[in-house]
Copies of this chain bind each other. A is one copy, B any other.
Amino acid sequence: MSGNSALKPRNVRDVEKWDREADVVVVGLGSAGVCAGIEAAEAGASTLVLEAGWRGGGTTAESTAQIYMGGGTPLQKACGFDDDPDEMFKYLMASCGPEADEAKVRLFSDRSVEHYEWLVAKGVPFEEGFVPYEVSTMPQKGASLTFTGSERAYPYCEIARPAPRGHTVQRDGVGSGEYLMQILMAVLEGAGAAIQPNTRSETLVVDDTGRVVGVVSRVGDDECLVRARKGVVLTTGGFIQNSEMLRWYAPDVLHCGRPIAAETSDDGSGIRMGVGAGGAAVRMDSVCIVLGFAYGNRDNIRGVLVNGKGQRYINEDVYQSNHGEIALERQAGEVYLIVDDSIYCEPPTEASMAGAAYPLLAVAETPEELEAELGLFSGTLTHTLSVYNENAAKGEDPYFHKESCWLRPLDKPPFAALDLRVGSSPYSVFTLGGLRTNVGGEVLNAEGDVVPGLYAAGRTASGIPAKGYNSGLSIGDCTFTGRLAGVSVAQAPSD
Instruction: Say yes or no for A379: interface residue by CB 8 A criterion.
Output: yes
Docked-complex contact A398 and B377, CB < 8 angstroms = yes
Which B residue's beta carbon lies closest to that of A380?
B387
Instruction: Say yes or no for A75: interface residue by CB 8 A criterion.
Output: no
Report if A1-B329 is in contact (Cβ < 8 Å); known contacts: A309-B399, A387-B380. Answer: no
Instruction: Say yes or no for A120: interface residue by CB 8 A criterion.
Output: no
Which B residue's beta carbon lies closest to that of A8?
B447
A2 contact set on B, CB distance < 8 A? 447-448
Size range of the chain A interface in the assembly: 35 or more
Q: Bits for A230-262, please: 1 = Cβ < 8 Å to B, else 0.
A: 000000000000000001100110100000000
In the complex, the count of this chain's copies comes to 2
Q: Bits for A272-303, please: 1 = Cβ < 8 Å to B, else 0.
A: 10011000101001000000000000000000
A329 contact set on B, CB distance < 8 A? 329-330
Docked-complex contact A446 and B99, CB < 8 angstroms = no
A132 contact set on B, CB distance < 8 A? none
Q: Which of the residues B97, B247, B272, B446 comes within 8 Å of A6, measured between beta carbons?
A: B446
A309 contact set on B, CB distance < 8 A? 311-313, 399-400
Report if A5-B446 is in contact (Cβ < 8 Å); known contacts: A252-B98, A311-B311. Answer: yes
Chain A: interface secondary structure?
Answer: loop
Docked-complex contact A5 and B447, CB < 8 angstroms = yes
Docked-complex contact A285 and B282, CB < 8 angstroms = no
- A135 → chain B, closest Cβ, in Å? 30
Q: Which of the residues B97, B377, B387 comes within 8 Å of A377, measured between beta carbons?
A: B387
Instruction: Say yes or no for A383: interface residue by CB 8 A criterion.
Output: yes
Q: Which 5 A-B pairs have the closest CB atoms?
A: A6-B446, A99-B251, A330-B330, A5-B447, A98-B251
A312 contact set on B, CB distance < 8 A? 309
A99 contact set on B, CB distance < 8 A? 247-248, 251
- A404 → chain B, closest Cβ, in Å? 17
